[in-house]
């Protein structure tokens, strides 16, 4: 392999000749050979958006020459278009400030801008002008998190639509309700599924509302929040540029000391991500309970048969999409612990757990987005009602006796239910044998569909 010699404040170092990164990236590569987890593309893209916006702001403030600013912006656009991916090589497990990744981006953009200009562009003096890793990296975290949450909301809405359509289709299919895994009063399958759709609707609303907090960014705080080396109005100009380019309302943090040292917004938003994961887990569990069987379970719905389920039991098919959802939910719960712990760390003016925080945050969003789309396409869209089984279970439920309570009272209704259960009678047989109610009155009040839609 051919090398070139790069220099930084610590001296000279060999860098592969075909790479656009420089000395500080190379030092990080050599010093942090830890794991296989690389800094997420979303963070790199957010950093490039910031560098592009910063170059425009510095140009307006007369701090960069027009050619240099435009070259930096073009280099950033090329990265955003998917070029030079192999030059962003650093591990998540690096400095807790993300400085090395910030410099990785600075060096690649400086190198490419220099190629475009046919001259020297400096990673610190030009690309990083008016900035510090300490305000750039947390700002990039907010932008990357907002973009990931926005995509997650879109996928959530797709599954919500699927479930809402199923709810409408099955609105008159009566089934027995269940509480505590015990029989309860009737409900329709459509009503139950409307609850699932409502959960996802609320999750999407919470994600939308929470993610607005990410619009406040730390840029302009520089090293410790005081804004040293950042000119007046730099933060406002950068935020104006970012608002235009990324499609979100970006503004300078009202307290930059808070913005550098605290990651509370990310903890808060990930809480909404976790809420979605838990609702998905609940939905997946309901689906696999109701689809259990096919002969010895509840068997009230059918789900698509996508692949063989056993290497030893012929013909077995399992609710694998539900299992994938549940595993992702477990991962998101673990990520939430990491996000929360990381946010509480660091000392004085800076959080120094930022790479692991944003890595886990983005992983939660990406896993949930993927599993939602998979569950929607490979399971939810194919859910069908097993009408005979629904009717059979609903008609056998002793808790249908609840409809008689206003007529004969709680105690007598309870006696009927207990008698039916103890003697193996139908509810009607037990009710008539008790003498508490006539057949005409029984038939009038035990109307299962009517019980689902009381007036």
Give pLDDT tens digits for 154-191.
999 999 999 999 999 999 999 999 999 999 999 999 99
Both 55 and 167 in a single domain? no
Both 19 and 40 in a single domain? yes
Domain boundary among 98, 129, 160: 129
Count CA atoms closer than 13 A to 439's CA, side-chain side.
2
Both 313 and 415 in a single domain? no
**What is the CB neighbour count within 10 angstroms for residue 107?**
27
Tokens 């280099």 correspond to what residue?
A: 75
Q: What pLDDT, on the 0 to 100 scale, is given for residue 1?
A: 87
Both 231 and 301 in a single domain? yes
Helix (H) or strand (E) holding 101, with range, is helix 99-117
When pLDDT is averaged across residues 247-267 and rounded to a whole number, the result is 97
Tens of pLDDT, residue by residue over 372-418, are: 999 999 999 999 999 999 999 999 999 999 999 999 999 999 999 99
Instruction: Return the CATH number at 443.
Output: 1.10.40.30
Both 178 and 309 in a single domain? yes
Both 231 and 337 in a single domain? yes
Residue 197 lies in a domain: yes
Tens of pLDDT, residue by residue over 29-47, are: 999 999 999 999 999 999 9
pTM (2 decimals)?
Answer: 0.96
Both 314 and 436 in a single domain? no
Domain boundary among 129, 164, 197: 129
- CA–CA distance, 151 with 276 (Å, rounded to integer): 14
Domain count, the chain: 3
Q: What sign does the dihedral 419-423-429-434 (CA atoms) show?
A: negative
What positions carry a catalytic annotation? 180, 310
Instruction: Return the CATH number at 60.
Output: 1.10.275.10
Both 9 and 43 in a single domain? yes
Both 251 and 340 in a single domain? yes
Tokens 């990080």 correspond to what residue?
A: 28
Domain that holds residue 206: 135-387
Residue 392 lies in a domain: no
Both 446 and 367 in a single domain? no
């Amino acid at each position: 392999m051919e090398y070139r010699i790069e220099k930084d404040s610590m001296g000279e170092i060999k860098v592969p000749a075909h790479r656009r990164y420089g000395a500080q990236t190379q030092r990080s590569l050599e010093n942090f050979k830890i794991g296989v987890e690389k800094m997420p593309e979303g963070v790199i893209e957010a950093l490039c958006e910031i560098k592009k916006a910063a170059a425009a702001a510095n140009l307006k403030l007369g701090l960069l020459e027009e050619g240099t600013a435009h070259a930096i912006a073009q280099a950033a656009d090329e990265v955003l278009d998917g070029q030079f991916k192999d030059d962003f090589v650093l591990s998540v497990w690096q400095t807790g400030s993300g400085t090395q990744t910030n410099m990785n981006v600075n060096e690649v953009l400086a190198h490419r801008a220099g190629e475009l200009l046919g001259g020297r562009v400096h990673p610190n003096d030009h690309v990083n002008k008016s900035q510090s890793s300490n305000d750039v990296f947390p700002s990039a975290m907010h932008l990357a998190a907002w973009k990931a949450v926005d995509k997650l909301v879109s996928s959530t809405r797709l599954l919500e639509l699927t479930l809402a359509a199923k709810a409408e289709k099955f609105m008159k299919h009566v089934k027995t309700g269940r509480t505590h895994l015990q029989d309860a009063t009737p409900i329709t399958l459509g009503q139950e599924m409307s609850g699932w759709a409502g959960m996802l609707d609320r999750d999407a609303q919470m994600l939308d509302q929470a993610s607005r907090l990410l619009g406040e960014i730390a840029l302009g705080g520089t090293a410790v929040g005081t804004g040293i080396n950042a000119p007046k109005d730099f933060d406002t100009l950068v935020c104006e540029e970012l608002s235009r380019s990324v499609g979100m309302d970006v503004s300078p943090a009202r307290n930059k000391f808070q913005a550098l040292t605290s990651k509370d917004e990310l903890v808060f938003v990930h809480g909404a991500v976790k809420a979605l994961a838990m609702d998905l887990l609940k939905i997946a569990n309901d689906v696999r309970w109701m689809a259990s069987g096919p002969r010895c379970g509840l068997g009230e719905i059918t789900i698509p048969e996508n692949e063989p389920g056993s290497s030893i039991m012929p013909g077995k098919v399992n609710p694998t999409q539900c299992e994938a959802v549940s595993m992702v939910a477990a991962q998101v719960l673990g990520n939430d612990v990491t996000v929360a712990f990381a946010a509480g760390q660091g000392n004085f003016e800076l959080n120094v757990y930022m790479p692991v925080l944003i890595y886990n945050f983005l992983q939660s969003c990406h896993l949930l987005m993927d599993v939602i789309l998979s569950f929607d396409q490979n399971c939810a869209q194919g859910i069908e009602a097993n009408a005979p089984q629904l009717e059979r279970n609903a008609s056998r439920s002793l808790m249908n006796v609840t409809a008689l309570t206003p007529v004969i009272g709680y105690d007598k209704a309870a006696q009927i239910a207990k008698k039916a259960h103890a003697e193996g009678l139908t509810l009607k047989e037990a009710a008539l044998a008790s003498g508490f109610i006539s057949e005409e009155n029984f038939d009038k009040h035990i109307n299962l569909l009517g019980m689902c839609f009381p007036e």
